[in-house]
Structure 1
Amino acid sequence: MAKWDNMLAMLWMLRSGKKLTAAQIADSLEISVRTVYRYIDALGASGVPVVAESGHDGGVHILESFSETPLFFNALELKALVDAYKFAVGAGYPYAKELESALKKVENGLQEEQRHDLSLLTSGLDVIAPSRPPSVVPLLRELELAVKDGRTVHLTYHKVNSAQADERDADPYGLAYDRSEWYVVAFCHQSRAMRTFRVDRIAALKLTDACFERPEQFSVSDYFRSQAEEERQEDGPLAVIRIEGEPDTLNKLCSNWHLRHYLTERNDREARFLLDVPSMNKYLPKYLLSFGTSIRILEPVELKLLVQDRAREISRHYMDDAD
């Protein structure tokens, strides 16, 4: 265990209020008694009132006046905080500056050796952020405020492949970050139904004076899953679909917007899905053909035959061109 991890473990041991001998601490942490005394000095220098008393009733303890334990993290906890900040920045998290400020406060409380170790631990990971318009961050902040306060918003929104933006009022129920994009799920007054809006397509947003009450227990992730269920072709018997491939290919397959909701099992060589037969027959043959020979359908046989038929159609099409 690293030095700072041992010091943290020792501090939590002493928080119990009991007196412990240096030998007891050394045995518990599997370090030497001499090292225990070095840790006592280091904790004292950090502001922790650790006392080592000699004699029959002596031992190591923390003074009763010490009511709050200073904020200590082990090396991996510190690394996790820094890495989480990198991911937040990469995702366009609207409170990244506040997160950076909090992280600076933590880092300022570290010893020089800790800061050096942290720099080494976190130097191997970077998050490549996609390009986003600067307006996304203030939009996310305003939308989150509207969700919290139950305020209706007026949106100027650009639909896909639409030359003009349209105006609408909406009650935002929650935000989601999915496939490197931010979305707001809202009840649209214009369509009188729940809708999903991509935040980077919002040209303008204004909080109105109107208020709404969000349904209890509403979950954005549950809404996304329910939408995927509704997009099935029709009700029908379910089929177990087994597909074999290399890990990278399966990663791409399993991240498909529709298929990922039906994934039931996955390992490095195989992915299993549970999907209704009508949807399987209509959508999967064409999609799976795009993977060529990098995947193999293990079951069901019906899906294999459909893919074979589609491949033969393509082959005949180009054979006719050759003639």
Structure 2
Amino acid sequence: MRADRLVSLVLLLRRRGRLTADTLARELQVSTRTVLRDIEALSAAGVPVYAERGRHGGFELLPGFRTELTGLNHDEALALLAAGSARGERAFGLGSALASAMRKVVDALPEDHRATASDAARRLLVEPEIDLLSRRPVTDEVPGTTMIDVRRAVLAGHKLRIHYAATGRPPQWRTVDPIGLVTVRDRVYLLATRSGADRTYRLSRVLAAEELPEPAQRPDRVDLDRIWRERAARFLSDGHITVLVRVNPARREDLLDTALAVRAEEPEPDGRLRLELTFQDSRHAEWALWQLGTDAEALTPQSLRTSLRDRAAALAARYADPS
């Protein structure tokens, strides 16, 4: 407990500068006497903390003092932060940096904690390569050099030149102002603006990338979660189809794997689920529901019900008894 408190004391002084013993005691929820003993312990351990006397006095660290975790570099620290999201270290090309950072974290642990931490880590598995049905996730492949150039431009705030292959169009070079990177279901997207207009690029379709020296035109602060939700809403309202479906709960995940989005969901008295889903178009919706057979029923739109009925009738006719 005291070790944690000493670390917290140092971090408080680093973040907020000079603080009185009374303020530190309130923040750490200990007595002023305990704070004074902790200050003495830090000084004895070589931490450059000193007292400033007078009306505006208090305790302060020497300017420029900082604690370092066995030399974590920029990419390693970034990898640890990215690892907070599911498989972020893979999506953003930070796998090797994460491995290196974790080795340093383990090295920084007290000797008696290392074996316990290593055993605990072996008992936690995040996002394995296959699910219980031995299905492998479909992961977009992004060349390492492309990922590095894109990531550098995003973090440095520089303009980015990309050779992009949009669906159904020949690849073209274009210059964009990068805002951020988002990973969803093992796909990575670059959020950017181009000539002031919002643009979203799938990184697997970026054939080459070049960080430019010019600063990007973008705000200093960004809320990627809000921007992503806004762009997703615009995407779903642009030429897509909304379908109301009744589905066997056992096939819910199979259906959701094929839909673009779930707009609403509620249980029905007979145990089935009623879902309002968005699909890319009518053909996409028909294909997705056909895979589920009688485990799913499209309620609306009527045009989809008609297409599925006609398809089923044609198949039944094909397999009718020749006699």
- Give me the TM-score of the superposition, normalised by structure 2: 0.57
1:184 and 2:181 matched: no
> Closer, same or farther in 2 for the Cα pair 1:265/1:153, shift >3 Å?
farther
- Per-residue CA deviations over 1:295-321 (Å, capped at 9, x if unaligned) read 466xxx555x66654343123213444
Structure 2: stretches of 5+ with no match in the other structure: 9-24, 48-66, 69-79, 130-136
- 1:146 aligns with 153
Separation (CA, whole Å) in 2 of partners of 1:182 and 1:282: 26
- Match among 249, 253, 256 for residue 255 of structure 2: 253
Separation (CA, whole Å) in 2 of partners of 1:313 and 1:121: 56
> Closer, same or farther in 2 for the Cα pair 1:270/1:82, shift >3 Å?
farther
* AA in 2 matched with 1:185: L
Aligned to 1:317, the other structure's residue is in SS state helix
Q: Tell me, yes or no, if the aligned pair for 1:158 and 1:201 is still in contact at 8 Å.
A: yes
RMSD: 4.9
Aligned to 1:94, the other structure's residue is in SS state coil
- Per-residue CA deviations over 1:73-132 (Å, capped at 9, x if unaligned) read xxxxxxx9997598334x333334443343333212323442222222222415338776
Separation (CA, whole Å) in 2 of partners of 1:314 and 1:6: 72
Aligned residue pairs total 256
Q: How does 1:253-272 map to 2 (within 5 A)?
A: 253-256=255-258, 258-260=260-262, 262-263=263-264
- Give me the TM-score of the superposition, normalised by structure 1: 0.57
Separation (CA, whole Å) in 2 of partners of 1:210 and 1:83: 30
> Closer, same or farther in 2 for the Cα pair 1:270/1:110, shift >3 Å?
farther
Q: How does 1:152-301 map to 2 (within 5 A)?
A: 152-160=159-167, 165-188=171-194, 193-214=197-218, 219=224, 220-233=227-240, 241=244, 243-246=246-249, 249-256=251-258, 258-260=260-262, 262-263=263-264, 273-274=275-276, 284=285, 286-295=287-296
- Per-residue CA deviations over 1:257-285 (Å, capped at 9, x if unaligned) read 5223x245689x76555569x99988645
* AA in 1 matched with 2:248: G
- 2:118 aligns with 119
Separation (CA, whole Å) in 2 of partners of 1:100 and 1:242: 44
Q: Tell me, yes or no, if the aligned pair for 2:161 and 2:210 is still in contact at 8 Å.
A: yes
- 1:110 aligns with 109
Aligned to 2:87, the other structure's residue is in SS state helix
Q: Tell me, yes or no, if the aligned pair for 2:6 and 2:38 is still in contact at 8 Å.
A: no
Separation (CA, whole Å) in 2 of partners of 1:320 and 1:110: 70
- 1:313 aligns with 310
Q: Tell me, yes or no, if the aligned pair for 2:91 and 2:183 is still in contact at 8 Å.
A: no
Separation (CA, whole Å) in 1 of partners of 2:7 and 2:163: 55
Q: Tell me, yes or no, if the aligned pair for 1:154 and 1:168 is still in contact at 8 Å.
A: yes
- 2:143 aligns with 135
